Amino acid sequence: MKHENWNDKDIADQKGKVVIVTGSSSGIGYEAARVLANKNAEVIIAVRDLDKGNAAEAKIVAQNKNAIIKVMKLDLADLASVKSFADEFKGRFSRLDRLINNAGVMIPPYSKTVDGFELQFGTNHLGHFALTSQLFALLAQTVEARVVNVSSGAHRIGKIAFDDLDWSKRGYSAWGAYGMSKIANLYFTYELDRRAKAAGMSLIANAAHPGWTATELQRNTLLARLGNYIFAQDVSMGALPTLRAAIDPHTQGSDYFGPSGLMEICGYPVKVSSNALSHDTEIAARLWEVSESLTGGEFAVTGKIAAASS
C-alpha cells in the first residue's frame, strides 16, 4: 500500500466486514460510510434523526445498488438511547470490525444532555465511551477490530476540569468545552489502546481529525462559516484521515491521523502528533474511571482473545 497521497483507492475490499459510523447522515461521517459501503463493507448509519439517515442511505444506494446499509437510531446525548442501540445491534450482529465514533456537536450555546452532562462533553466523549463499552464484547471477539475516535485540532485548547465537568463553577466557554471534549477523545483512544495491548487483544484504537472541512458542525458561528469559504476542503478529503485510521494495515494503534498540509488544515492524511497533554497517562486513567462512573457501568478490557474468523 502506498503512503503518499493516501486516498480511497488504497482501501482494500471490505467484504464481510461490519462497520458502525456514528453521525453518518452528513459530513465526513456520511462520506466515510459511503466509501466503506462502496468497498463492500456492511455499514450501519447510526444517527439521531432516522429521516436524515434514510436519506443518506438512499443517496448511497442510488450510486451503488449493491451497497449494504442499515440505518439505526442512536442519540449519543441520551444514555438510554445508547443502550437501546447497543442492545439492538448485538441482537442482529455477531461481529463488529470497525466502530467509527464520528458524531459530535461543536460550540453550541450552553445546554445539557438528557442525563445532565454539558452537551459537548456528554455527546462527544461520554456518549461514545458508553457506546464503545457496551459493544466491547463484540469488538473483542472480532479479529483485528478497530475503534476510531474523531478528535480535532481544538484538542490543543482542551483541559479536563475534573472538578467542573459541567461548567457550573465558571463561566461557560463553548470553545473551551469543545476543546475539553476533543482532548477527551484522545485520552480515550490512547487509554483504550494501552489496555487492549496489555490484555493481549488484537483490537487497536486510533484517532483522526479532518482538518478544516466544510460540514454542518460550523453552523453555530459566523466566523466558522466564513472560514469554510476560505480554508475548507471538501468532505471527500476531510473523511480520509478517519478512513486511514480505520483501514491502514500499517498502523499498530494509538496513531493520530490528520491532513498533511500547513497547520494540518487540509491535505492528504498522514500520521500527525497530538499535544503533550493528550499523552498524560495519569489523566487518561482518571478520565476512564470518571467516565465509567458517569455512564453507569464498568468498562472492563479483559484478555479475551478474538476468536471470530477474520
CA distance 249 to 303: 23
Residue 190 annotated as catalytic = no
CA distance 97 to 267: 27
Which one of the listed residues 30, 110, 172, 178 is annotated catalytic?
A: 178
Under a CB-based contact definition with an 8 Å cutoff, are residues 259 and 269 in contact? yes
Under a CB-based contact definition with an 8 Å cutoff, are residues 253 and 205 in contact? yes
Q: DSSP 3-state assignment of 207? A: strand
Under a CB-based contact definition with an 8 Å cutoff, are residues 63 and 34 in contact? yes
CA distance 270 to 197: 23
CA distance 183 to 178: 9
| Structure-block grid coordinates of residue 118 | 454539558
Q: DSSP 3-state assignment of 222? A: helix
Under a CB-based contact definition with an 8 Å cutoff, are residues 287 and 189 in contact? no
For 63-69, the CB contacts below 8 A with 24+ separation are 63/34, 63/38, 64/37, 64/38, 66/40, 67/37, 67/38, 67/43, 68/37, 68/40, 68/41, 68/42, 68/43, 69/33, 69/37, 69/42, 69/43, 69/44, 69/45
Helix H or strand E encompassing 294: helix 281-295
Segments of the chain assigned E as strands? 18-22, 42-47, 68-73, 98-101, 146-150, 204-208, 256-259, 269-271
Under a CB-based contact definition with an 8 Å cutoff, are residues 78 and 113 in contact? yes
Q: Which residues are catalytic?
A: 178
